Structures are given as C-alpha cells and as structure tokens.
Amino acid sequence: MNIDKLTPGDIPDKVNVFIEISDGSSVKYEIDKESGVLFADRFVHGALFYPVNYGFIPGTHAEDGDCVDVLVLASYALHPGTVVKCRILGLLEMEDEEGIDTKIIAVPTAKIDPFMAEVTCIEDIPAMKKAQIKNFFDRYKRPRGREMGQNQRIPRKGRGYQGNRTIIITLLWMILEKIHQ
C-alpha cells in the first residue's frame, strides 16, 4: 500500500484515519512509510491492551515528525491497515520523557458506525472509557516491576481531555498548510 497517496480527508467535517493498532490488541504496530508495511514494534507488557483503535491522519506531521496520532472510539475493533472516516471530538494531551504528546480523539462517521452517532463531544464518552484510556497511557511504557513515579508517562496537570473542536480544526489546518509550503 502506498500511504503517500492517502489524503487527510474532508477537513473539518471528516478525517481519514489509518488504523495501526486494533482496540483490544497487546501488540504495538508501526507502519514503515517507505514500504507501507506494518511491523510489530513491541508487545505491551502484562495484562494491558489498547483500549481504543489507534492510528494516524495521513498527510499530516505532528511536532515529533510523525503523522498526527488519533484514538478512534468505535463499536468494534478495526483491523490494522484499515482507513476509516472519522469525526473529531477533542484532544488528549499528555507529557512523556520527550515532551508534550497530543493525540486527537475521534469516532467513525455515523454512516460507518451508527452506534457512535450520538457521541458528539468529549463529554459524551463514558467516564469508564476515559478512565481506561488514561490508565493505559499512564502505564503502557512502564517496564515490568517499576513503580509509578519513576519516569512514567503521566498526563500533565491541568490538561487532559479537551473538547474544543475549533482548536483542533485550526491545528489540522496549520499542519496541512505547513506541509504544502
């Protein structure tokens, strides 16, 4: 698959998300941008698993040089390599050893996943799902046997789920403008 031919989608209404990791998976995959092949990057330790589908918006570049990451909440696990049209709900902003790491939170369009049609903002996501996402990102890089507080990935105080869709759309436009300069 030539991912360079994939577009970001119909911003601001819909974005294309290339799924790298399925909801429920304990394997982190990364796409090789030259070949378009998914490689196993690492196994998530212990009983952890990805609580949502995880992917990126093709044709974008985040501050870390990779495509913009997206957490896709859906009724079902999506197969790695699938491209799904999504609606943006908000942001999850975290801090790790490399600095701020922002991920977009989205759901498939109502045509694709009618069960998610009523989820229109971050506040519509069930509290247990938010807790599951937070727990995963607090713990997934933690080496076995290490306690919390020792260089762990912890959300920055005063940040977290943000539901201002206008900011996200502006952010995406800035990213796309930067690419096309």
DSSP secondary structure, the chain, as one string: --GGG----STTT-EEEEEEE-TT--EEEEE-TTT--EEEEEEPPTT---SSEEEEETT---TTSSPEEEEE--SSPPPTT-EEEEEEEEEEEEEETTEEEEEEEEEE-TTT-GGGTT--SGGGS-HHHHHHHHHHHHHTTPPTTPPTTSS--BPPTT-SEE--HHHHHHHHHHHHHHHT-
Does 157 score more than 60 pLDDT? no
Does 79 score more than 60 pLDDT? yes
Average pLDDT, integer, range 69-97:
91
Average pLDDT, integer, range 148-171:
49
Of 55-59, 135-139, 156-160, the one with minimum mean pLDDT is 156-160
pLDDT at 119: 94
Distances (CA, A) of 83 to 5, 17, 21, 30, 71: 12, 5, 12, 15, 13
pTM for this structure?
0.82
Query: Confidence band (pLDDT; 50, 70, 90) for 158?
Result: very low
pLDDT in tens, 128-138: 999 899 888 88
Query: Confidence band (pLDDT; 50, 70, 90) for 59?
Result: confident
Length, in residues, of the chain: 181
Domain residues of the chain, as ranges? Answer: 3-164
The β-bridge partners of 30 are: 39
pLDDT at 161: 57
Query: Confidence band (pLDDT; 50, 70, 90) for 168?
Result: low
Does 61 score more than 80 pLDDT? no
Query: Confidence band (pLDDT; 50, 70, 90) for 148?
Result: very low
Does 33 score more than 90 pLDDT? no
Rg of the chain over Cα atoms, rounded to whole angstroms, equals 16
- Please name the fold of domain 3-164: Inorganic Pyrophosphatase (3.90.80)
Lookup: tokens for 83: 């491209």
Does 147 score more than 70 pLDDT? no
Nearest to 5 by CA among 55, 59, 54: 59
**Over pLDDT 90: what percentage of the chain?**
43
Question: CA-to-CA distance for 100 and 62, rounded, in angstroms?
Answer: 11
pLDDT at 159: 46
Does 140 score more than 90 pLDDT? no
Amino acid (one-letter) located at 134: K
